[in-house]
Structure 1
């Protein structure tokens, strides 16, 4: 196969062209990346998830038997159904230096940069490897990357660190909160509201758990604090409640979605314990939607020092959004966030990454490669 050299912009256009929406099969984008890497002699491990129709991808440039660094990104994007798009969200277009398309910022720009510099990395004769770890369904609560991490011991030596390329303005970030989310599902018995004795109200069944959630949310405000975060405490909220058909019909079904966000050192799932206990006592089913741990990298860690040098920026203490970084850390791999763009552009119409941001990301990765060559 003849290697195909793609500019960062061309690579981003290729990636944006795949409508790899979260929760859907992702074979087309995974196969494209696998085949493109194969053209350069780089073998990519395609790691199917338990869903059977989507996969993670892992590839190594350099000696896999030595500790190196992971460039980590997710291939899935949120849906692009918003009316504010000025063109096809899955066709990259440029306007005054802005590269516009779904996922351009979150986070196919980082992936495009990593892929486009593979030929440069191959020419560097790296003495320690750079790995590409590309996951699925991050937008659904980091569902794909745990399967990649479980396979990692058989693919390479324990990495010295992982760089998670979520949008941070290319400023290294040391910490973020963890998150767990659940759905409560109550089942009742319908009937006319004039005869509640003959039915069972599903909405009423939710009330104990919702009450417990509200009480826990208030209690957390005076609990453990971490000044790096805004707010400085762990939080909990009821996000959605739905059920019922009409005022005079006893609700047969009702659901609620509740999330907890935890400061470093606190298990976000533990924060939901009072809610889950109240739901169980009321006969309400609990389904886990997502769960990932907080990230907390010591400011004095060698990875923090390395990224400060590569980025030319003092690491930021914390951000409010969550990433896969906490899962890398939980797997014993030091992790840090550093990627192009601004998180405020993500999940919105006309999402974009600037041409300058894309090239700055390539330059940072090339500096990483230079630090690992003979």
Structure 2
């Protein structure tokens, strides 16, 4: 999921554990390992824990987690391609593309390695198992799903694959899908793929998703003059922006009710118009030198998205405020394709659905016909004490494995 305007997170190397593959283990009643009565493949759990314990917050260099995955791929005999770039803060970022097997057809698993910041109030980069859940930053979004498909593909020797499995591991998904766009533009390995379809492994509860919202993320800044309020020599940026904020409040009601800005194919059908405000901690007896308002509007097909964004930007320009705007596209895949039908069959789901959050699927869609499909609950992503249910982790591993067997053996 998207997380714009990144914040700096913890840094520092952590050793990469060695993963030993094992058969599913059944924990008997009365034992207290935290995952009683769950048939869980030990390698999936170990891999997910290892990935969680390698911090890879979007703002930081993610070389270590890519090193881990590249070493894994080499051990499996997969072909790999490593891509690097420098982000807007001049931090080097790494992406990995891998291929198991050869030939045409097959499937692609499309993932990201970055996470949102750890936040306070827990130990985000210490993986813990309790109450049938795996806790840790990225357990749900999306290091748990990565572990599920990596282990599922690793179960089958590459030489036995009739058709290939492609895997991508991007950077900067949480801050604007930068890594996925870089992979699409620069990967020769993925460009050579002609797969049946691609799986964006965001958490969907293993329900196939054929469409997700995109959005515009805007920052509007007013500027004033800082002075002690007793002197009347200042000019408050807060008062300057207040009329604009009142207009935005009126727009919220319009966006919620006007059919032009809705699409009933989505739940909720509205554009998620939201606003946050800061004067950067200005004291109450000082006139604010700067006030920033951040606004977001979700995009869907035929939902008046362009008009909504134009209204907001036009009003900000009228007031002479500074503007920034970053947009990510919505994704709309093929709901009725044979590939989507296959995923629904494997998942035991009647039909694919839509979701209101953003994913990298729109970036991959021109190259790989994609569906969003992964273990975990989106409600747990980005939270303190983020977790994934162990049953979901196992379901992802099993269903990904079944997909590979159906398409590649």
TM-score normalised by L of structure 1: 0.87
Paired position in structure 2 for 1:227:
264
Paired position in structure 2 for 1:164:
200
Q: Which of 178, 186, 192 is 2:214 aligned to?
A: 178
Paired position in structure 1 for 2:178:
143
The answer as to whether partners of 1:69 and 1:161 remain within 8 angstroms in 2 is: yes
Q: Does 1:214 align with 2:249?
A: yes
Determine the C-alpha separation between the residues in 1 that align with 2:398 and 2:276: 41
* Structure 1 spans left out of the alignment, 5+ residues: none
Determine the C-alpha separation between the residues in 1 that align with 2:230 and 2:124: 51
Paired position in structure 2 for 1:128:
163
The answer as to whether partners of 2:210 and 2:335 remain within 8 angstroms in 1 is: yes
* Structure 2 spans left out of the alignment, 5+ residues: 1-17, 22-42
- After TM superposition, the structure 1 stretch with the greater mean CA deviation from structure 2, 234-243 or 99-108, is 234-243
Q: Which of 334, 340, 351 is 2:386 aligned to?
A: 351
The answer as to whether partners of 1:130 and 1:369 remain within 8 angstroms in 2 is: yes
Paired position in structure 1 for 2:99:
60
Determine the C-alpha separation between the residues in 2 that align with 1:314 and 1:49: 42
Structure 1 residues 246, 309: CA separation in 2 closer, same or farther (over 3 Å shift)? same
The answer as to whether partners of 1:80 and 1:349 remain within 8 angstroms in 2 is: yes
The answer as to whether partners of 2:77 and 2:100 remain within 8 angstroms in 1 is: no
- Structure 2 residue matching 1:318: 3-state secondary structure: strand
- Structure 1 residue matching 2:155: 3-state secondary structure: helix
TM-score normalised by L of structure 2: 0.80
Structure 1 residues 191, 89: CA separation in 2 closer, same or farther (over 3 Å shift)? closer
The answer as to whether partners of 1:176 and 1:264 remain within 8 angstroms in 2 is: no
The answer as to whether partners of 1:208 and 1:282 remain within 8 angstroms in 2 is: no
Distance apart, 1:212 and its partner CA: 4.3
Paired position in structure 2 for 1:10:
46
Determine the C-alpha separation between the residues in 2 that align with 1:211 and 1:32: 50
Determine the C-alpha separation between the residues in 2 that align with 1:154 and 1:267: 37
Q: What is the count of residue pairs matched by the alignment?
A: 365
Distance apart, 1:248 and its partner CA: 4.7
Determine the C-alpha separation between the residues in 2 that align with 1:113 and 1:162: 15
Paired position in structure 2 for 1:263:
300
